[in-house]
Amino acid sequence: MTDSSDLFSRFNVLDQLLSQTQNLWQQRPFHWLDLPWRQTHPALCTWLDELSMADLQALKESDSLMSVLHAWIPELSLLHYFSELPTISPQHITLPARIETGVPGRKWQQVCAFAGALTQPHPRPWLEWCAGKGHLGRVLGMMSSQPVVSLEWQKKLCDDGNQMAERDGVAQTFVHGDAFSDSGRALCQSAQSAVALHACGDLHVTLIQAASQAKTQHIAISPCCYHLIQSPRYQPLSQAAQQSMLVLEKADLKLALQETVTAGQHTQRKGALEVSYRLGFDAMQRHALNHDSYMPLPNVQKSLLQEGEAGFADFCRWAVAQKAVAIDLDDYDLAAFLAQGQARAALVAKMELIQQVFRRPLELWLCLDRSCYLEEQGYQVTLSTFCERALTPRNILIEATLIS
């Protein structure tokens, strides 16, 4: 685990290194028509130019990518050294088999790993934040024989969770409410352990702020979806992060989440097809509308993504309707623009390959901001991972105990 005395120094090192290299990771690959590093990193670009899509895929899946790129980006060694976290060996949990009924297998493994990794020594009542059906709360309640209050926004999930708690004999009370409301924040009390497994963005930030204000004795969170924030830009929590020169947009916050270790081959194929279609349409709209900037599109239903020129035509009709632009598809050679999209997809893949090695350092920067904030509020904080990345890439555990 990372000792709290190390948090600020680690943050400062990561902040300095990420600032020095931000031209490499703080880019928007879909907006570029060529590699943006021709002047600053010419040798790196020459190497990237020679890579095929098969090469890119192999490097993306390789454990040696960081060492390969170190030849052109020497800061990577320190970045990844200061981004390494130990994995807690979870305590063995003995639970009745019935308790996992109705819980997806991967989710159940994450819940048990998180619960087994908690180190707080003195059982207290639990507050489960953004609980869903309360799987984590049920496990913690059964492990500790302590009551659980589970806050959840969706009424149906509260009802389902109540039924499961009654089935399993757990003293678990569901509160149907808004985590951002005063009544939601008021659930945080001093003699309590507050937990959140993969609460998104501002939701887990709200718990950190509300629980620290209430002097909640123990807080444990695994952050997720850092980009789901109400502000247009990231608002640092800690004094250390507020002094940083980094300005993070929502697109930067998404970078930490762009991992596919849990995605199947079908999902990856659909993703690659969508990229080529989006870029092919972008090439067409630049030509048709006579301007030179990327046109972002909303999320598309994956069922619309069919292979071939006919599938690309369907996608373009959808995109024209979404953006309400005056483009008559009959006036253009769709096959030619699809070929441009496929070529630009290779460029995007090369840029994303470089960004890949900065994802974990950026995520740790964000987690250190949260950890430093908690230390500033009087907590002893540890950082660790509660499971392997193959189970979930969002495996960072922030655990804070109030210093009495």
Tens digit of each residue's pLDDT (9 = 90 or more) over 349-369: 999 999 999 999 999 999 999
pLDDT at 379: 97
Mean pLDDT across the stretch 235-250? 96
Q: Are residues 231 and 282 in the same domain?
A: no
Question: What phi and psi, each to the nearest 5 degrees, are found at residue 399?
Answer: -125, 125
pLDDT digit string (tens) for 124-133?
999 999 999 9
Domain that holds residue 144: 97-255+363-402
**Which of the four pLDDT bands, split at 50, 70 and 90, describes residue 18?**
very high
- The residue type found at 371 is S
Let me know whether 220 and 321 are in one domain: no
Here the CATH number for the domain that contains residue 126 is 3.40.50.150
Same domain, 116 and 167: yes
The answer to whether residues 144 and 177 belong to one domain is yes
Residue 91 DSSP code? P
Q: Considering the domain boundaries, does residue 325 fall inside one?
A: yes
Tell me which residue has tokens 């989710």: 107
- Read off the tokens for 210: 């509300």
267 and 376 part of one domain: no
Cα–Cα nearest to 193, from 290, 266, 257, 125: 125
Q: Are 179 and 320 found together in one domain?
A: no
Do residues 252 and 26 lie in contact, with contact meaning Cβ atoms separated by under 8 Å? yes
Question: Are 383 and 351 found together in one domain?
Answer: no
% of the chain residues with pLDDT over 90:
82
Does 268 have pLDDT greater than 90? no
- Nearest one of 404, 401, 389 to 3, comparing CA atoms: 401
Q: Specify if 299 maps to a domain.
A: yes
Question: Could you tell me which residue, 4 or 175, shows the higher pLDDT?
Answer: 175
Q: Quick one: 268 and 193 in the same domain?
A: no
Q: Are residues 125 and 62 both part of a single domain?
A: no
Q: Are residue 219 and residue 173 in the same domain, yes or no?
A: yes
Residues contacting residue 341 through CB under 8 Å, at least 6 positions apart: 275, 276, 277, 278, 279, 280, 281, 282, 283, 312
| Claim to verify: residue 188 and residue 106 sit in the same structural domain | yes
- pLDDT at site 122: 66
Per-residue pLDDT tens for 325-338?
999 999 999 999 99
Asked whether 61 and 349 are in contact (CB, 8 A), the reply is no
- pLDDT confidence band for 4 (50 / 70 / 90): very low
Binning pLDDT at 50, 70 and 90, where does residue 123 land?
A: confident
Closest among 95, 177, 176, 181 to 136, alpha carbons compared: 95
Domain count, the chain: 2
Same domain for 386 and 239, yes or no, is yes
Contact (Cβ atoms closer than 8 angstroms) between residue 366 and residue 191: no
| Rounded Cα–Cα distance for residues 227 and 222 (Å) | 15
* Position 264 confidence tier, pLDDT thresholds 50, 70, 90: low
Domain-located, residue 3: no
- Assess if residue 57 is contained within a domain: yes
